[in-house]
Amino acid sequence: MARYRYPIPPSHEITPRDVYARRRRFMKQAAAVLGATALPGLFPASALAWRDQVSEAEPGRLGTDETLTDRETATSYNNFFEFGTGKEDPKRHAQQLRTDPWSVSIEGEVRRPGTYPLEDILKPHDLEERIYRLRCVEAWSMVIPWVGFPLRDLLRRFEPTSRARFVAFETLHDPEQMPGQRRDILDWPYREGLRLDEAMHPLTLLAVGMYGEVLPNQNGAPLRLVVPWKYGFKSIKSIVSIRLVEDRPVGSWEASQPREYGFYANVNPNVRHPRWHQATERRLGERGRRRTEMFNGYEAQVASLYTGMDLEKHF
C-alpha cells in the first residue's frame, strides 16, 4: 500500500485541547437544541452519550500541582477484592464486568426515590477534571486526575429529608462477573458510608473517568466515589445503590476488622495502625517514602468537619 506523508503544522497553529473541547461542547449543545426544536423525539439521547463528556471535561477548581502518577501504574496496581486480592488481579479479571447498561438506586430519606439509568444520573451535571491525591491503607499513594462531579450535586436533586444523617453505598453484587465475590473475603456486597456533611463537601466526588478517559473497570467503572482526605477503602467502586439513612452505616471492612478499619478512615499520621505505621507512605513511581500529611493534605478544607472530635478514638 502507498504511504503518504503529511506536513506537520507548526505548534502555534494547533488548537489547544481546552479550546477544542469548548467548541465541541458548544456545537453539540447547539445541535441538541436545534434537534429538539425542529424534530422532537426523532433523535433520542444515546445511553452512551455521557462518555463524550469525559474527554471534554473542564479542569476543576480544586486540585494539586504535584506530578501525576503514570497512567499505566494507576490502572494496573489496584485494590478491588471483587476481582481478587492481588494488586494485578483487578486488571486481569475486571474486563468481564458489563458496565452498560447500568442503573443506580437512590433510596431512603429522600423525597424523590427511584432507580435511574446512569445516563440520567449524569445528564444534569457538567463533568470536571480534578486532580486528587488518593492514599490507601497499605501506605501507598497516587496522584490521579479524576473526572466527575461533586456528590452533593446529585444528592440535592433527590431532596434529602430532615431525617437524613448518613449516606450508605453499595457495590454491585454479581459473583458471575466478580469472581472475588465467590470467596468469603468479606460479607458481600461491599458497603461503605459517610456522614451527610462529609458527603456534601465539595471535595467528595462521584467519578466516571480518569486521565481524560472513561473509568477502566479495574478502577471502579462506571461510577465510583472519591473521598481524597480518607483512606482508599472508603472510596467505594462500581456503585449501584445510594441510600440516605438516619443511623450510621457499617462499612464492609469495619464489619470485618473493626480494630483496623474505623468508620471515619481519615488520613491521620498520628494514629498507628495495628499492623503498620501511618506516619510515612510510599508514592507509586517514587523511590523511598514520604511523610504522610494530615487529612492527606486537605486539612485546611476539611478539618472543620471534625471540630471537637477525638480523632484517635474516631479513627
The answer to whether the CB of 242 falls within 8 A of the CB of 100 is no
156 is in an annotated binding site: no
171 is in an annotated binding site: yes
- Closest-CA residue to 208 (of 227, 222, 228): 222
217 is in an annotated binding site: no
For strands 114-117 and 128-135, give the pairing: unpaired
307 Cβ contact list (under 8 Å, min separation 6): none
130 is in an annotated binding site: no
In three-state secondary structure terms, 104 is: strand
Residues β-bridged to residue 242: 106, 169
For the CA atoms of 153, 157, 161, 166, the dihedral, rounded to the nearest 10 degrees, stands at -40
Burial of 204: CB neighbours in 10 Å, binned 0-12, 13-18, 19+:
buried
236 is in an annotated binding site: yes
303 Cβ contact list (under 8 Å, min separation 6): 294, 295
Phi, psi at 119, each rounded to 5°: -65, -30
* Whole-Å CA distances, 30 to 17, 57, 123, 126, 197: 20, 18, 16, 16, 37
237 is in an annotated binding site: yes
Positions at the binding site: 78, 136, 171, 219, 224, 235-237
Positions at the binding site for Mo-molybdopterin: 78, 136, 171, 219, 224, 235-237
